[in-house]
Chain A
């Protein structure tokens, strides 16, 4: 052990003990000029290093309570009563003596009790007091009271024997407070003494290298304190993307790499785009309140910008128009097309794209669209979610190409090992195909739904080439990746979980 391995306040503490036997912590603080808390910290580490010994001593500190203070100033009740009795000639009625003593009523019984116990007076018939002593001497209790009044507090252990017993009496009379204090006395151990003798001079020791030390060159004269490098440190949380948002970002990148352009559009949508253009009949249960959120006010938007299209869609629903279809055979309401709702699927965006002047043929489009369904939010349902879907428009696109797109997604996006295709159903596609993919560690998962838009969808929009439509079940993919089985974690409100989520 070398002095320089100690911190500055540890060194100062040791030096304060030099040539002294036991020293109180307070005294060390005084000698060394260190703060009390610094001495305490030093004492702790020095005793761990066995350089000092700490003797703990318990002390009882006695102080007066308010009633005690009162009596200290005015005298104990029995003293006040005996004084007045003696003045009255040694014999008087209790009331008279108490009145002359100006003794508060509540103290009269106490005074009478102690007068008799101390043998100073006795009570005769007809409540008369008779003094038994002419001038009773001051008792230890009274002495203690006045010392306490003068000094404020006393250490019980330091008192003489009679005063110490008076402490017990006053405690019983509930005139003093007694609290315990631990007194620490410090002395050097043999090792401590050796160390102090060996080295008297304090070496400047520094924990933080400062710009001043660096620039001035003073760093050469100081000792940079050794750290406990294994000590735990404060936690830090970097700024991060939300894990699900990050996953969607990567997905967008992959789709862009496959040649897809992103579509964006309004979450408050016209029924026209959400349903009518997608050949969903107006009386279909999917359009009822249990299937889709409607806007309370304003109820309706405008479709006048799409007038000829609305007419085509109307006739297609009613009797098939030029599409070769029988149609749904009912009366189509243009008013119903204007009804505003919260987009129920991203396919509404595909319809807008097909109607857009910027539509490119061939063209590939995708959207990560916020969609809404009137579900109670629980472990497996959300009222609001993201759908990843899109279209491919081009001459000569076929069912084979649709399968090719799905296979490509499965490999490039989900990195799966095997794919399988199954017949599926969507009101707006025929044929419809579901993609089932196998991924090692995950098993089979339904990864996407797709189809070729029905002629009842494309022809009224003026699209004469095939349109392949696809949607990817990315929520489940993310949940498996993130190891969660509660869909609410896609919109997690749990900051700690988000912070701890590893980036993979």
Chain B
């Protein structure tokens, strides 16, 4: 979820409205744009925008634009007029076809940048690259001081070691290879293009490098300052449509700063795509059926109301028929995929809090799952036996599951991308979690008797997830006189109370338990668990100070 930092005065001037000082009131107003105030002071407001699909809301200009509609300060489509041609031509090299084939360009002139505006534009660019641009794989944006560039431009390829330029935030020239190896952006995004023998390069008629898409801009040309008046915007990418969409978001945002929009001409060498003039700011259309809308809402909105609400949400109205409207979608609404997206905007414009909630008494009967019911039975008995329930993580480490338990290494469900060394796999038994719990509580009064009904995950080749989830009950008693007899009494009481008669135990050896005081637990000739006194080495490993006896049973076998 992007957080937009706005200057209060700037936001107010874009809105044409004084903002409420009260946090709750401000939150209610920002709810229209799915925004929430995260920080508020005299100068700045930080607004979290929850919609990660509404790229048009990720700038102060976009927020103000949308809010003006909802607050009835502006109605319907906002017009973005092309002022003329910038005269920029971009020649695309056919070798880019399988690397990064598309480019869109525009020039916005006559902007007075402030530091805050520049930071806002940079954040919008970053967020578009990250989310909409799929971390620059799909699209990436470059901004340049137009007055420093000599068109026409060439979007071509270069042999990595043969071209060098000074990348943004660096002082010295670096070859494309060096950028991939040493520049932080090269390291971060190099994987997108590294496999190609030649790499994308955007340069002007004087052979000055504008950028090495999608990695980094030139430090000389690709920098916007408070002195910049005219901006060249360029978007490259793997899909023509998303390239043009990204460009629209940037262009409309800058145009809202009183910039005038000028087009560029892109010359493609590909068979299926000839020349294109960009940006393309035309509206798209979508038909909505008012009967469908009302069925979705559960209350009636008339055609007339709908057109008003659509206007508030920034849409234009095309043809209206008896029960349907052709909606004009502004060029920056790149999120609209389905009439339900427009429906939501109508509902928001109507006001969620004006809708009367309805609780439908559906003829359903509620119940917990049979698994939960059985687990609750086991929990009830354990509590009755004086055991304290614990709740531990199912994620742990082989260190806890095996090394500390004195066990040999065995395969467990490991995580490919762990974040912490202590959480690298899923447990295949629960007892280690309990011993770990006790290790944090050696100073707490004894006796300590704890249990958990939790799950463990084991491999199962037959399952569609190749794994199986098992509800297990584990318990431990630790105090100076803890022993096998005590814990066996508990097991006995448990089985007696869940009505289990046909169970046996058989002596066994297990590295986590003391031999001669360990047994497997059997039900109808199936092994369902283990019981015994914890091995002193294991107690040492967990730094436990008192003897402990424990059992663990697989509840799935008993359900």
Q: Residues of A with Cβ closer than 8 Å to B?
A: 235, 237-242, 244-245, 249, 252, 255-264, 266-270, 283-285, 288-289, 293-303, 305, 320, 323-330, 340, 342, 360, 362-364, 370, 372, 374-377, 383-384, 392, 394, 396-401, 403-408, 420-425, 427, 430-434, 444, 452, 454-456, 466, 490-496, 498-499
Q: B360 to A397, Cβ gap below 8 A?
A: yes
B372 CB-CB contact with A under 8 Å = yes
Q: Taking the nearest CB of chain A, how far is it from the CB of B487, in angstroms?
A: 15
Q: B341 to A430, Cβ gap below 8 A?
A: yes
Q: A284 to B353, Cβ gap below 8 A?
A: no
Known: A400-B299, A492-B391. 19 other contacts (CB 8 A): A237-B445, A239-B387, A245-B389, A249-B376, A261-B364, A261-B366, A264-B371, A326-B338, A329-B239, A377-B420, A394-B360, A399-B296, A403-B358, A422-B34, A423-B352, A425-B52, A432-B344, A495-B441, A496-B444
Q: B31 to A423, Cβ gap below 8 A?
A: yes
Q: Which residues of B contact A299 (CB under 8 A)?
A: 416
Q: How far is the CA of A480 from the CA of B51 in the complex (A)?
A: 27
Q: A425 to B376, Cβ gap below 8 A?
A: no
B466 CB-CB contact with A under 8 Å = yes
Cβ 8 A contact of A493, one of B51, B440, B469: B440
Q: A499 to B388, Cβ gap below 8 A?
A: yes
In chain B, residues 403-428, which have Cβ atoms closer than 8 Å to a Cβ of chain A?
413-420, 423, 426
B195 CB-CB contact with A under 8 Å = no
Which of B116-124, B128-136, B530-538 is the interface stretch? Answer: B128-136
Q: How far is the CA of A370 from the CA of B453 in the complex (A)?
A: 13
Q: How far is the CA of A362 from the CA of B360 in the complex (A)?
A: 11
User: With contacts A383-B420, A404-B358 known, is A262 near B369, CB below 8 A?
Assistant: yes
Q: A266 to B393, Cβ gap below 8 A?
A: no
- Name the CB-closest residue of A to B424: A296
User: With contacts A399-B297, A423-B348 known, is A430 near B338, CB below 8 A?
Assistant: yes
Q: Which residues of B contact A329 (CB under 8 A)?
A: 239, 241
Q: How far is the CA of A432 from the CA of B295 in the complex (A)?
A: 16
Q: Which residues of A contact B467 (CB under 8 A)?
A: 266, 268, 295, 340
B275 CB-CB contact with A under 8 Å = no
Q: How far is the CA of A241 from the CA of B299 in the complex (A)?
A: 45
Q: Which residues of B contact A252 (CB under 8 A)?
A: 368, 372
In the A-B complex, list the 4 residue pairs whose CB atoms are closest, starting with the nearest.
Answer: A398-B298, A400-B298, A256-B366, A403-B357
Q: Taking the nearest CB of chain B, how far is it from the CB of A33, in angstroms?
A: 33
Q: How far is the CA of A59 from the CA of B296 in the complex (A)?
A: 100
Q: How far is the CA of A341 from the CA of B241 in the complex (A)?
A: 31
Q: Taking the nearest CB of chain A, how far is it from the CB of B355, in angstroms?
A: 6
Q: Taking the nearest CB of chain A, how far is it from the CB of B254, in angstroms?
A: 25
Q: A407 to B357, Cβ gap below 8 A?
A: yes
Q: Taking the nearest CB of chain B, how far is it from the CB of A9, in angstroms?
A: 29
Q: B353 to A376, Cβ gap below 8 A?
A: no
Q: B344 to A401, Cβ gap below 8 A?
A: no
Cβ 8 A contact of B366, one of A260, A326, A342: A260
Give the interface centre of A235, A266, A284, A323 by most chain B CB atoms within 10 Å: A266
Q: B464 to A455, Cβ gap below 8 A?
A: no
Q: Which residues of A contact B297 (CB under 8 A)?
A: 398-400
Q: Taking the nearest CB of chain B, how far is it from the CB of A437, in angstroms?
A: 13
- What are 7 A-B contacts with C-beta separation under 8 Å? A252-B368, A261-B365, A320-B338, A325-B337, A396-B295, A422-B34, A495-B448
Give the interface centre of A255, A264, A375, A399 by most chain B CB atoms within 10 Å: A399
Q: B415 to A342, Cβ gap below 8 A?
A: yes
Q: Taking the nearest CB of chain B, how far is it from the CB of A247, in angstroms?
A: 11
Q: Taking the nearest CB of chain B, how far is it from the CB of A221, in angstroms?
A: 37
Q: B419 to A255, Cβ gap below 8 A?
A: no
Q: How far is the CA of A330 from the CA of B132 in the complex (A)?
A: 13
Q: A404 to B391, Cβ gap below 8 A?
A: no
Q: Taking the nearest CB of chain B, how far is it from the CB of A367, in angstroms?
A: 9
Q: How far is the CA of A245 from the CA of B379 in the complex (A)?
A: 11
Q: Which residues of A contact B395 (CB under 8 A)?
A: 372, 383-384
Q: Which residues of B contact A257 (CB under 8 A)?
A: 366
Q: A325 to B364, Cβ gap below 8 A?
A: no
Q: Residues of B with Cβ closer than 8 Å to A?
A: 24, 28, 31-32, 34, 50-54, 130-131, 134-135, 137-138, 239, 241, 295-299, 337-341, 343-344, 347-348, 352-353, 355-360, 362-369, 371-372, 376, 379, 382-395, 413-420, 423, 426, 436-438, 440-441, 444-445, 448-450, 455, 457, 459, 463-469
Q: Which residues of A contact B416 (CB under 8 A)?
A: 289, 293-296, 299
- Name the CB-closest residue of B to A281: B134
Q: A423 to B34, Cβ gap below 8 A?
A: yes
Q: A294 to B466, Cβ gap below 8 A?
A: no
Q: How far is the CA of A299 from the CA of B465 in the complex (A)?
A: 10
Cβ 8 A contact of A398, one of B295, B426, B459: B295
Q: A237 to B352, Cβ gap below 8 A?
A: no
Cβ 8 A contact of A404, one of B357, B385, B459, B466: B357
Q: A268 to B417, Cβ gap below 8 A?
A: no
Q: B387 to A296, Cβ gap below 8 A?
A: no
- Name the CB-closest residue of A to B242: A329
Q: A375 to B419, Cβ gap below 8 A?
A: yes
Q: Which residues of A contact B417 (CB under 8 A)?
A: 289, 293-294, 374
Q: Taking the nearest CB of chain A, how far is it from the CB of B334, in angstroms?
A: 11
- Name the CB-closest residue of A to B451: A239
Q: How far is the CA of A406 from the CA of B449 in the complex (A)?
A: 40
Q: B366 to A259, Cβ gap below 8 A?
A: yes
Q: How far is the CA of A124 from the CA of B390 in the complex (A)?
A: 90
User: With contacts A326-B337, A491-B393, A495-B444 known, is A360 near B353, CB below 8 A?
Assistant: no
Q: B130 to A285, Cβ gap below 8 A?
A: yes
Q: A493 to B437, Cβ gap below 8 A?
A: yes
Q: A431 to B343, Cβ gap below 8 A?
A: yes
User: With contacts A239-B386, A403-B352, A430-B344 known, is A261 near B367, CB below 8 A?
Assistant: yes
Q: B365 to A259, Cβ gap below 8 A?
A: yes
Q: B340 to A394, Cβ gap below 8 A?
A: no
User: With contacts A383-B423, A495-B437 known, is A422 near B366, CB below 8 A?
Assistant: no
User: With contacts A252-B368, A364-B366, A384-B395 known, is A400 near B389, CB below 8 A?
Assistant: no
Q: B337 to A362, Cβ gap below 8 A?
A: no
Q: Taking the nearest CB of chain B, how far is it from the CB of A275, in angstroms?
A: 14
Q: Which residues of B contact A421 (CB under 8 A)?
A: 352-353, 355
Q: A268 to B457, Cβ gap below 8 A?
A: yes
Q: Which residues of A contact B391 (CB under 8 A)?
A: 242, 244-245, 490-492
Q: Taking the nearest CB of chain A, how far is it from the CB of B436, in angstroms?
A: 8
Cβ 8 A contact of A240, one of B135, B358, B383: B383
Q: How far is the CA of A431 from the CA of B349 in the complex (A)?
A: 12
Q: How far is the CA of A401 from the CA of B357 in the complex (A)?
A: 6
Cβ 8 A contact of A239, one of B135, B385, B441: B385
Q: Which residues of A contact B371 (CB under 8 A)?
A: 264
Q: How far is the CA of A11 from the CA of B340 in the complex (A)?
A: 94
Cβ 8 A contact of A400, one of B54, B241, B355, B376: B355
Q: Which residues of B contact A289 (CB under 8 A)?
A: 416-417
Q: Which residues of B contact A303 (CB under 8 A)?
A: 464
Q: A324 to B355, Cβ gap below 8 A?
A: no
Q: How far is the CA of A469 from the CA of B28 in the complex (A)?
A: 24
Q: B359 to A404, Cβ gap below 8 A?
A: yes
